[in-house]
Structure 1
Amino acid sequence: MKLDARKQSFFSDSKPACSLRGHWVSFCLVDELGVGAAYGGLPYTVHDSAGQQYKGRLNGEGFAKLQNIYCGPVVLVFDELYSGTEQPYQRLMVRPTYKLPITELQVRAEQTRFAGSDGRCTEGSRAQQTANRFYQVEVRDLVRHVAHLPPIEPRTHQPQRHALEMMATLGFSPPQPTLAGVMLFPNCHTVLEVRPLRALRPLLSTEDGFCALNLYQLALMASLSYCSFGQEPPQKPQNEVRFPLDPSVGHLFAEKLSGYHEAWRVDAEQQQRFYPLYEEVSYSRRFEILPFDPVMYPQNRPELGEKQEHPARLHFFDDKEFGTDTQAFISHHEEVILIAVRGTASAADGLRDANAHQVAFAEGVGKAHEGFYQAYRAMRDFVLRYLDQFHTDQRVIICGHSLGGAIALLLAEGLRRATEGNYNILLYTYGAPRAADAEFTAGASTLVHHRIVNHNDPVPSVPAPWMNTTAKLWVPGAVTLFSAPAPGGLLFAAGLVRLGGNPYQHHGEQQHFMPIMLADGTRSSVLWKPGCESIQEAGCNRALQLHGDMPGRDNLLKQLFQANQHFMTASYIPAAWATLRRWQQSQESGGPLVTPREFELLDQALEDMRQQLRNKRRELARLRPANDRGYEHNDALNSEIDRLHTSRERLATLRWRRLEARDVYGSHAHGAHLQPSLKRWFSHRENRELSQVASIPPAMNDEWGRAQTLDIDSIV
């Protein structure tokens, strides 16, 4: 039989493919350093051209040789399933759903390391010099089921896939549902350099306490929630799925991080690079995007139609059924389940924001903002289904920005009260509006919630405590307050205008970014817990003044949600990065969180604000009718004056407070992996440069300079 040109390189007249014995083949598996010890004792299977099967184990150096085999190419596979008890492999193989076909080869590859720090394929391996043929292979080249493995990386010396296909075409390889393995040639020694199965995952502290690491990392994850999932095809996939869109949730976790590539883009319009702190882990410990394999998993089969499961449906919530336009993503590893909820991004979101009517929080106590509650209820079952399948006592970390923060709060409290799961919740929100009333807040007092507010972000000031109205009713007195706001008017609405019911109230202790502009032009920023409403409410009052009269709540909210201090990549993420850098410097130097110069400037600004409140109290007393004793007005003002005094005392503690590593890195403070993670992070020039905002101005003898304007009308 004369062979066509495509087959000539594999079969020839001098080496026909026929049943002649007396030939040999040898092969060796090595890591990227050219060492085969990592694969010593690994079981293998070889299929020869006559359909014979040979099973054996590699020796201690990862080497094997077969003698007296039939003439012709052979197919090498390493499809033996892992039989040990080491975690997380054993747990992943026996979990209730999406059991993973983890092989012995995969476990070995996960225990090797890259030769280069960037994970790129190496050239000029020492093992290559000892081989007749040399291939750079990945685990998925050598096993049958590959849907749970990372995508193939570019490589110079790849195995010849079409040769394997030719073996099947000619009938030399055994029948298999899918082609698997690498083809080796007779009378040749082949070295297979196996790419390590390592991944990157964002470091997240699982401790209750606030830390700068989570502040920064979760700001990035909350911003990522605005992206699409990026799956192709997005619906009704047939055989496989891909995630080519960058940035997208699927691309980050399933492509970049699973392939050991650092990623920094979490926003399609992002220009400045913000890299998360990544920890290198074995591949099975990454943030997982579940596999899609209709052969292995019946729930993935296309014939299920609308009930078909695939990664986008499992990890990504984009509400169409209930029409709330709520969006969120969820992923997990053995220590953390991460949920990120998107903020305002559409007209439907805006209408939900504006619906300040209160409804009962059925899962607990108190009442919640109706629009936020509807969005939470829409995604609740999606989250519970995921947790039912993959929650194994991990810390459930939830984050959200803006509207997403409000929904995240209701979700966190709903999960905390869910009796079936015993979920341990940790919540970080950024620029979140008030989501529920005072009774809800009291009932959720044990929920760990770190609430981040940027210095001039007006959104946390809405809905105002008095906004307890129906969606269609707008009280003329409230309109007057907005359309002609007197200085500080919005600030005092909590005490002066109550339309009935419990007032809206924030949950969680506020962490506030407060900027300082020094006379020499140096910008600084202090993150602290002021404990008063004046600073936060001033941001909303300033937005009203900048944008002019707003006779309707929908217009008000539209303007507020467009305020630039509210955006993530332009505001919250840079401030979180600056705080992380500042706290790193403070912890390393042993210095305080604020210098004497910063303290004096901020303290004077707070005292100025306190004096303005006293003046406002006198003004209201003068304008009040004689028969109006105004106890409620006085109580609101007096309470805020007292809180400002408490805030000054808190500020004073920052002069002597020294940070520990746990304040900066939380549960990772003393982990062996922290320093390699920091080394990788600081390898990017963006993280080596000290931002002015992150800098701590050195103490000066003359102590000159002044704080930025800080009063009840504005924080510039």
Structure 2
Amino acid sequence: MAIEQWKRAFFNGTMPACALRGGWLSFCLVDELGDGKAYGGLAYEMADCAGQRYKGHLDGQGFARLEDICRGPVVLVFDALYDAEEGYYPTLLKRERYPIPITNLQVRAEKTRFKHLGGERNEQNPACRLGDQYYQVEVRDLVRHVAHLPPLTPSAHGVQRHALKMMADLGFGPPEPVLSGVVLFPNRHTILEVRPLRALRPMLSIDDRFCALNLYQLALMSTLSYCDFGQQPPKKPLDQVSFPLEPSVGNLFAEKLSGYHEAWKVDGEQVQRFYPLYEEVPYSLRFEILPFDPEIYPQNRAELGAVQEHPAYLHFFDDDKFGTDTQAFISHHDEVVLIAIRGTASAADGLRDANAHQVDFADGVGKAHEGFYQAYRAMRDFVLRYLDQFYRSQRIVICGHSLGGAIALLLAEGLRRAPDRNYTPLLYTYGAPRAADAKFTDGASALVHHRIVNHNDPVPSVPAPWMNTTAKLWIPGAVTLFSAPTPGGLLFAAGLVRVGGNPYQHHGEQQHFMPITLEDGTQASVLWKPGCESIQEAACNRALQLHGDMPDRDNLLKQLFQADQHFMTASYIPAAWATLRRWQHTLESQGPLVTPREYALLDHALETMRQQLRDKNRELEQRRAPNQRGQAHEHNQALNAEIDRLNTSRERLHSLRWRRLEVRDVYGSHSHSASLQPSLKRWFSHRENRERSPVASVPSPVHGDRGRVHSLDIDSIV
């Protein structure tokens, strides 16, 4: 297409700069509603094709006009750094490691809002009719340093990026190390609609108190920990990185949520949609993935080799040094540091690392499972290095599934006891095995730990309190011990007694998913705190099905074939979602947490279990020699103690009939947040979240939706 007559003098090899003056141009920055007040007073800088620079400030309506300039193209930038002391920005600007070059333009764009709830491009801005040229721009179009900013969102009205390169190729303007800015042409009024710089972040409560919000959100984050970080290139990047793999940790935080796009996939084979509850925040308050910019940060330079820092190095732990197969990710914003730890993903590695031997917990008191302890020590320095750089009194929230939950417990206690740090971790674990002995548990009593168990998940049953041996000694004898136990062996397998030393013991307050099948076949789940070993060790599902015999706690190997109750996408996440919906509905209706029919089913199950224990107690008594009957015996004492705990469990169940929820029970520290209702509106906009059943039925797994996260943690079993 022919160049317009007035432009020809400026785009030829003999006249790279124009001596003619007398031109003018004007421009206006506006938000998505066409209002320029959000950008009023901003300082700008322009360079014309002759190399002359112009500086000025927008007026109160975001407008500026230049007269008597060279009649050629100019480049506009808004590169002045933020210079106030407001909010979280000074922390980011002045931190020792990875200071962020936040401009005044970025701060203004973070204070604007999208016209549409989902952040879709606005195609009907009223201001577009007021100019000769209309562009939809983003902050990264107008500033020099962009590594910390989100990827561009496609637009039909995007800036002409080739114009900037064309000016550089023709030698127009002063030399610039980086091509940046928007090209404007003279004798035109240009409208620049700046996309709001907002992000989404998963809502997390920072209260000690258990809440349904964290139950669901951290189940999703624990599952995400099984994904790769997804950085390209994964090692030794030269000038930039990207995160194209979906799902992956980097893709979720650095691209999806940073670009204001909701994401629901946390497992590569996931079919059902489970959306986190997202809150909209200024971009700088998102869960941060640190920038990669070798020009600004010398530690990013590839010549550093193995110690080169880049996002995967800083946020992702994948142990290839100590051979523990441990994987975790860490990120933060102004209120939370989030650490999610993966369970074992390789059955072969699990068998190799299986080790129930106890070793001293060097960072506290008591003894820990040696395999879990080795994994904790492998990642400890990685976490401490991150906290040294980015911890600013946020709440440290740690979560993990299965083996990841056991490591998370040791990590949380290690951080709590770290000298001169004042860390106060908040811990949620899912299907975690016992990780340490009774002395450790007593010493860690101040650690806030909400331990989630899905009804017949076998993994929390192990290591049994009596175990203190290496895998190669235990595994060969397991078939004999568990397939045909003696009466004494039955009690050992049930985990009710021990032999010598301090027993393995669970830490934290257990929250148990109790399954319910109603008359119409609907599957539901009640979350409660049972407080008894029979349920704590995942045997209650047998009683609920009312087989009429002792729950198969004597045969741990059989439980392994029911290990689908251990899986995240098939079991824990659906049950957590159902609990959140149940509690939301209960809060709205001000009704009880369980219906009369649910109470009757659960109470009958508990009474059946109690009767089974009594029958077993009488049976053992009859087997004893006549002269020993009636005497106190360790086996009988253990069974009587369990019967007492079942009585306590029935009392707790009874209290659910009258319990009324508060907002804080459901949403924790977000209960009175201004962002709660908009976040709920966004969450309920997805049809998957509009289930209104009074019992919030558990979604049935879609065929094939078992997920990549479902390999059994053999190292957790032993």
* Residue 709 of structure 1: aligned partner: none
Query: What's the CA shift string for 1:237-282, capped at 9, x where partnerless?
Result: 0000000011000000000000011100000111110001100000
Q: Give the C-alpha shift of residue 87 in structure 1.
A: 1.3
Q: Give the C-alpha shift of residue 584 in structure 1.
A: 0.4
Give yes or no for the alignment of 1:207 onto 2:207.
yes
Q: Give the C-alpha shift of residue 597 in structure 1.
A: 2.4
Distance 1:657 1:693, change over 3 A: closer
* Residue 294 of structure 2: aligned partner: 294
Q: Give the C-alpha shift of residue 607 in structure 1.
A: 1.2
Asked if the contact 1:578–1:691 (Cα under 8 Å) also holds between the matched residues in 2, the reply is: no
Structure 2 CA distance for aligned equivalents of residues 557 and 292 of structure 1: 49
Query: What's the CA shift string for 1:612-664, capped at 9, x where partnerless?
Result: 11111111112235676662112211111110011111111111110010100
Structure 1 letter corresponding to 2:388: D
Structure 2 CA distance for aligned equivalents of residues 43 and 617 of structure 1: 83
Question: Which of 8, 12, 18 is the aligned partner of 2:8?
Answer: 12
Q: Give the C-alpha shift of residue 516 in structure 1.
A: 1.5
Structure 1 letter corresponding to 2:533: E
Q: Tell me the secondary structure at the aligned position of residue 101 of structure 1.
A: coil
* Residue 451 of structure 1: aligned partner: 451
Q: Give the C-alpha shift of residue 499 in structure 1.
A: 3.8
Asked if the contact 1:200–1:281 (Cα under 8 Å) also holds between the matched residues in 2, the reply is: yes
Query: What's the CA shift string for 1:661-715, capped at 9, x where partnerless?
Result: 010000111111100000000000000123685159xxxxxxxxxxxxxxxxxxx
Q: Give the C-alpha shift of residue 167 in structure 1.
A: 1.1
* Residue 312 of structure 2: aligned partner: 312
Structure 2 letter corresponding to 1:324: T
* Residue 425 of structure 1: aligned partner: 425
Distance 1:691 1:307, change over 3 A: farther
Distance 1:556 1:324, change over 3 A: farther
Distance 1:404 1:186, change over 3 A: same
Structure 2 CA distance for aligned equivalents of residues 20 and 558 of structure 1: 89
Asked if the contact 1:468–1:499 (Cα under 8 Å) also holds between the matched residues in 2, the reply is: no
Query: What's the CA shift string for 1:344-363, capped at 9, x where partnerless?
Result: 21135413663111111010
Asked if the contact 1:523–1:693 (Cα under 8 Å) also holds between the matched residues in 2, the reply is: no
Question: Which of 643, 646, 650 is the aligned partner of 1:644?
Answer: 646
Q: Tell me the secondary structure at the aligned position of residue 280 of structure 1.
A: strand
Q: Give the C-alpha shift of residue 115 in structure 1.
A: 1.2
* Residue 108 of structure 2: aligned partner: 108
Q: Give the C-alpha shift of residue 176 in structure 1.
A: 1.8
Q: Give the C-alpha shift of residue 9 in structure 1.
A: 9.3
Structure 1 CA distance for aligned equivalents of residues 490 and 461 of structure 2: 9
Q: Give the C-alpha shift of residue 600 in structure 1.
A: 2.2
Structure 1 CA distance for aligned equivalents of residues 607 and 87 of structure 2: 57
Structure 1 CA distance for aligned equivalents of residues 661 and 489 of structure 2: 39
Distance 1:184 1:475, change over 3 A: closer
Asked if the contact 2:327–2:341 (Cα under 8 Å) also holds between the matched residues in 1, the reply is: yes
Structure 2 CA distance for aligned equivalents of residues 489 and 542 of structure 1: 20
* Residue 144 of structure 1: aligned partner: 144
Asked if the contact 1:522–1:692 (Cα under 8 Å) also holds between the matched residues in 2, the reply is: no
* Residue 194 of structure 2: aligned partner: 194
Structure 1 letter corresponding to 2:308: Q
Q: Give the C-alpha shift of residue 496 in structure 1.
A: 6.3
Structure 2 CA distance for aligned equivalents of residues 116 and 250 of structure 1: 26
Distance 1:9 1:82, change over 3 A: farther
Structure 1 CA distance for aligned equivalents of residues 176 and 490 of structure 2: 72
Task: Out of 466-475 and 675-684, give the one that drifted further.
Answer: 466-475
* Residue 632 of structure 1: aligned partner: 634
* Residue 701 of structure 1: aligned partner: none
Structure 2 CA distance for aligned equivalents of residues 558 and 396 of structure 1: 38
Q: How does 1:233-248 map to 2 (within 5 A)?
A: 233-248=233-248
Asked if the contact 1:350–1:557 (Cα under 8 Å) also holds between the matched residues in 2, the reply is: no
Q: How does 1:435-584 map to 2 (within 5 A)?
A: 435-474=435-474, 479-485=479-485, 493=493, 498-539=498-539, 560=560, 563-584=563-584
Structure 2 letter corresponding to 1:359: V
Query: What's the CA shift string for 1:440-475, capped at 9, x where partnerless?
Result: 111101100000000111111011111111343239
* Residue 549 of structure 1: aligned partner: none
Q: Give the C-alpha shift of residue 18 in structure 1.
A: 1.4
Asked if the contact 1:582–1:694 (Cα under 8 Å) also holds between the matched residues in 2, the reply is: yes
Query: What's the CA shift string for 1:169-224, capped at 9, x where partnerless?
Result: 22212222211100000111111110000000011000000000000000000000
Asked if the contact 1:495–1:633 (Cα under 8 Å) also holds between the matched residues in 2, the reply is: no
Q: Give the C-alpha shift of residue 328 in structure 1.
A: 0.3
Structure 1 letter corresponding to 2:45: T
Structure 2 letter corresponding to 1:578: A
Q: Tell me the secondary structure at the aligned position of residue 407 of structure 2.
A: helix
* Residue 94 of structure 2: aligned partner: 94
Question: Which of 659, 672, 683 is the aligned partner of 1:657?
Answer: 659
Distance 1:353 1:48, change over 3 A: same
Structure 1 CA distance for aligned equivalents of residues 641 and 485 of structure 2: 22
Structure 2 CA distance for aligned equivalents of residues 487 and 142 of structure 1: 77
Task: Out of 344-353 and 528-537, give the one that drifted further.
Answer: 344-353
* Residue 264 of structure 1: aligned partner: 264
* Residue 367 of structure 1: aligned partner: 367
Q: Tell me the secondary structure at the aligned position of residue 8 of structure 2.
A: coil
Asked if the contact 2:582–2:694 (Cα under 8 Å) also holds between the matched residues in 1, the reply is: no
Q: Tell me the secondary structure at the aligned position of residue 76 of structure 2.
A: strand
Asked if the contact 2:365–2:440 (Cα under 8 Å) also holds between the matched residues in 1, the reply is: yes
Asked if the contact 1:491–1:537 (Cα under 8 Å) also holds between the matched residues in 2, the reply is: no
Q: Give the C-alpha shift of residue 518 in structure 1.
A: 2.5
Structure 1 CA distance for aligned equivalents of residues 650 and 240 of structure 2: 59
The root-mean-square deviation of aligned C-alpha atoms, in Å, is 2.5
**Ranges in structure 1 where 5+ consecutive residues have no aligned partner:** 547-552, 697-716
Asked if the contact 1:350–1:558 (Cα under 8 Å) also holds between the matched residues in 2, the reply is: no
Structure 2 CA distance for aligned equivalents of residues 238 and 7 of structure 1: 38
Structure 2 CA distance for aligned equivalents of residues 476 and 599 of structure 1: 43
Structure 2 letter corresponding to 1:667: S
Structure 2 CA distance for aligned equivalents of residues 488 and 676 of structure 1: 58
**Ranges in structure 2 where 5+ consecutive residues have no aligned partner:** 548-553, 699-718
Structure 2 letter corresponding to 1:131: G
* TM-score normalised by the chain length of structure 2: 0.91
Structure 1 letter corresponding to 2:7: F
Structure 1 CA distance for aligned equivalents of residues 312 and 113 of structure 2: 31
Q: How does 1:125-140 map to 2 (within 5 A)?
A: 125-140=125-140
Structure 1 letter corresponding to 2:643: I
Give yes or no for the alignment of 1:685 onto 2:687.
yes
* Residue 335 of structure 1: aligned partner: 335
Asked if the contact 1:469–1:499 (Cα under 8 Å) also holds between the matched residues in 2, the reply is: no
Query: What's the CA shift string for 1:583-627, capped at 9, x where partnerless?
Result: 000011000111222222211211111111111111111223567
Distance 1:684 1:116, change over 3 A: same
Structure 2 letter corresponding to 1:40: G
Q: Tell me the secondary structure at the aligned position of residue 460 of structure 1.
A: helix
Asked if the contact 2:466–2:492 (Cα under 8 Å) also holds between the matched residues in 1, the reply is: no
Q: Tell me the secondary structure at the aligned position of residue 472 of structure 1.
A: helix
* TM-score normalised by the chain length of structure 1: 0.91
Asked if the contact 1:468–1:500 (Cα under 8 Å) also holds between the matched residues in 2, the reply is: no
Structure 1 CA distance for aligned equivalents of residues 289 and 400 of structure 2: 20
Query: What's the CA shift string for 1:288-318, capped at 9, x where partnerless?
Result: 0000000000100001001100000100000
Distance 1:214 1:557, change over 3 A: farther
Structure 1 CA distance for aligned equivalents of residues 49 and 330 of structure 2: 47
Q: Tell me the secondary structure at the aligned position of residue 474 of structure 1.
A: helix
Task: Out of 163-172 and 495-504, give the one that drifted further.
Answer: 495-504
Total equivalences in the alignment: 684
Structure 1 letter corresponding to 2:594: V
Distance 1:430 1:496, change over 3 A: closer
Asked if the contact 1:34–1:193 (Cα under 8 Å) also holds between the matched residues in 2, the reply is: yes
Structure 2 CA distance for aligned equivalents of residues 166 and 300 of structure 1: 30
Distance 1:173 1:625, change over 3 A: farther
Structure 2 CA distance for aligned equivalents of residues 45 and 561 of structure 1: 68
